[in-house]
Amino acid sequence: MGAHSDLLERHHAVTPRWLGLLYEEPIELVSGAGRTVVDAEGREYLDFFAGILTTMTAYGLPEVVGAIQSQAERMLHTSTLYLIEPMVELAEQIASLSGIPNAKVFFTTSGTEANEAAMLLATTSRRSSQVLALRNSYHGRSFATMGVTGNRGWSASSLSPLQVSYVHGGYRFRSPFRDLDDDAYIAACVADLRDVIESTTSGDVACMIAEPIQGVGGFAIPPDGLFGAMQEVLDEYGILFVSDEVQTGWGRTGEHFWGYQAHGITPDAITFAKGLGNGLPIAGVVASAELMDCLQASSISTFGGNPLVSAGALANLRYLLDHDLQGNALRVGRHLLDRLQGAAEKLDCVGEVRGKGLMIGIELVAEDGMAPNPAAAAVVLERCRERGLLIGKGGLYGNCLRIAPPLSVTIAEADRAADALLESLGDVNREVRPAR
C-alpha cells in the first residue's frame, strides 16, 4: 500500500465521517516552499487553494518561520492573564488597518469563534437575539455561527441561540434578481431587506452579518455598493453591520485591503481569521471600543493571541505590507481572471467565471447553462491534481471551482495554473454529461 492509502484507512478509522477529504484518492501534503507543495508520495503541486486561503504569503517564508522559531525558543504560551507584547503590537496594527474609529481587537483561535464573539457583542449591545444573514453564507461550525450560515450543506443542526432571518444579495448567479442591472439588483435587495425586517422581526434586530464575497458559497460577488445601500436601511433601525472578512481580508481582493471597502461603508465590527497567521491558529474580531467593551461579565480565550501565534502573525502581516502583496493580488489576479474568462466562458460546462484579486470562482453547469453540475467540478479537481495543480470547490451545490493561491503568486505560476485548469475544463466539457 502507498503512503496515502495506508493513512486514509487509519484516518477513516478514527476521525468523523463528516470530516470531508478532497479527491478520490486523498493526499497528504508534507512540505512546501513558495506556492509549491509536495505530497507524502513525493509529487509536487502548485497550490492554488492555499489550505483554504490560509497560507496567505507563502509556504516556508523565512521571515515567518524565523519569527516562530525564535519565539518558540523563548516562550510558547502564557495566557491572556499576563501581558503579551506581540499580541498588543498585532492588535495596534490591526486596529489601525481596520478603518473602524477607536478600535479594539479580541483574538481567538478560529473564524468560528471570531464570529461567535461578534454575535455576542452585537446581541449584548442591542439587547436583542435577532440577526440578519445572507442566503448562501458560511460563518462557522458552532451553534450561533451555523445559525447564521445560509447553506444547508454546512448546517448540521437547526439549534441556534439566535433568531435569524435571511436576506437576498450575495449570490447573484442564482438570484431571482439575476437579470437586473447592478442598480436595479441593489434596489431589489434593499427592498427585500426592508421587507424582511418589517415582516419577520420585531424591528430591534442586533446586526446583519455578511461576507463581502461569499467564500464557501463559491466566491459569489455582489455588485459594488450593495452593502452601502443596505446599510442605509440598517441605520434607520439601528442595526449593526458585521463584515466577515475571514476570506476577503488582508488585500486578497486586490482592489482593497478589506472586502467591505468596495461598498463605501465602515462596518461596526470586522471578523478575521485564515490568512493572518499563514497557518498558525489566530483569528479575531475588531470593533469600536464602545461595542467591544459592552460586555459586563469577564471573558477569556486561553490560546487567543498567545505569544507564538502573535509573533508569527506579526511577521506575516509585516511581510504582506512591506511587499505590497495586495498590489500583487490585483495584478496577478487580473491577469488570471482575463485568461480564464477569455477561454473558459466559451465552454458549455461553464456558467460564469467571476473574481476579484486572487479570489476567482468558476460556476459549472449542465447543458441548459443553469443547472448546477457538481460532478463536473469533482472531475475538474481530479484532472487539475493529475496535472500538478491544487484548487478548491464550493457553492451551495458543490459546483463552483475556487481558485485562491498565496498572495505572492507570480504571473508565470498563474499561467501554469491557467493552462492546467483550461485543459481540465476542456476534458470535462467533452466528457461529463449533465448531473441533473
User: Which of 39, 116, 211, 268 is the binder for ligand PLP (CB under 6 A)?
Assistant: 211
Distance CA 260, CA 232 (A): 15
CA 337, 340, 343, 347 torsion-angle sign: negative
* β-bridge partners, 39: 29
- Spatial contact of 59 and 34, defined as CB atoms under 8 Å apart: yes
CB under 6 A: which stretch of 22-30, 38-46, 110-118, 305-313 binds ligand PLP?
A: 110-118
H or E, element range at 291 = helix 289-292
**Location of C-alpha cell 516562530:** 68
Distance CA 311, CA 305 (A): 9
Query: Is 244 a residue that touches ligand PLP (CB under 6 A)?
Result: yes
User: Which of 138, 173, 219, 260 is the binder for ligand PLP (CB under 6 A)?
Assistant: 138
Contacts of 386 (CB under 8 A, 6+ apart): none
User: Which of 50, 133, 216, 292 is the binder for ligand PLP (CB under 6 A)?
Assistant: 216
CB under 6 A: which stretch of 34-42, 79-87, 108-116, 306-314 binds ligand PLP?
A: 108-116
We find the least distance from the C-beta atom of residue 109 to ligand PLP, in angstroms, to be 8
Query: Pattern 254-293, binding to ligand PLP, x per CB under 6 A?
Result: -------------------x---------x----------
SS3 241: strand
H or E, element range at 74 = helix 62-74
User: Which of 170, 215, 304, 394 is the binder for ligand PLP (CB under 6 A)?
Assistant: 215
Query: Is 110 a residue that touches ligand PLP (CB under 6 A)?
Result: yes
Whole-Å CA distances, 207 to 124, 145, 184, 243, 269? 11, 13, 24, 10, 10
Break the chain down into helix, strand, coil percent, rounded to 5.
Answer: 40, 20, 40
Query: Is 56 a residue that touches ligand PLP (CB under 6 A)?
Result: no
We find the least distance from the C-beta atom of residue 49 to ligand PLP, in angstroms, to be 12
- Spatial contact of 344 and 407, defined as CB atoms under 8 Å apart: no
We find the least distance from the C-beta atom of residue 103 to ligand PLP, in angstroms, to be 20
Query: Is 402 a residue that touches ligand PLP (CB under 6 A)?
Result: no
Give the end-to-end CA distance of the chain in Å, rounded to a whole number.
36
Query: Is 243 a residue that touches ligand PLP (CB under 6 A)?
Result: no
| Count of residues that bind ligand PLP according to CB under 6 A | 16
Strands, sheet with 29-33, edge to edge from the N-terminal-most edge strand: 29-33, 36-39, 44-47, 389-390
We find the least distance from the C-beta atom of residue 107 to ligand PLP, in angstroms, to be 13
* β-bridge partners, 278: 280
CA 381, 417, 249, 65 torsion-angle sign: positive
User: What type of residue sits at position 351?
Assistant: G
CB under 6 A: which stretch of 225-233, 240-248, 311-319, 417-425 binds ligand PLP?
A: 240-248
E strand spans, 48-176: 103-108, 130-134, 163-167
Instruction: Calculate the CA 385 to chain-centre distance.
Output: 22
We find the least distance from the C-beta atom of residue 78 to ligand PLP, in angstroms, to be 23
- Give me Rg for the CA atoms of the chain: 21
**Closer residue to ligand PLP (CB): 271 or 328:** 271
**Closer residue to ligand PLP (CB): 251 or 432:** 251
Query: Is 247 a residue that touches ligand PLP (CB under 6 A)?
Result: yes
CB under 6 A: which stretch of 164-172, 244-252, 315-323, 365-373 binds ligand PLP?
A: 244-252
Query: Is 55 a residue that touches ligand PLP (CB under 6 A)?
Result: no
CB under 6 A: which stretch of 9-17, 58-66, 134-142, 190-198 binds ligand PLP?
A: 134-142
CB under 6 A: which stretch of 136-144, 163-171, 337-345, 398-406 binds ligand PLP?
A: 136-144
- Spatial contact of 145 and 151, defined as CB atoms under 8 Å apart: no
Query: Is 116 a residue that touches ligand PLP (CB under 6 A)?
Result: no
We find the least distance from the C-beta atom of residue 281 to ligand PLP, in angstroms, to be 8
E strand spans, 237-364: 240-244, 269-272, 283-288, 350-356, 359-364
Query: Is 139 a residue that touches ligand PLP (CB under 6 A)?
Result: yes
SS3 257: coil
CB under 6 A: which stretch of 66-74, 132-140, 288-296, 321-329 binds ligand PLP?
A: 132-140
CB closest to ligand PLP, residue no = 111
Query: Is 148 a residue that touches ligand PLP (CB under 6 A)?
Result: no
Residues lying near ligand PLP in the complex (CB under 6 A):
52, 110-112, 115, 138-140, 211, 215-216, 244, 246-247, 273, 283
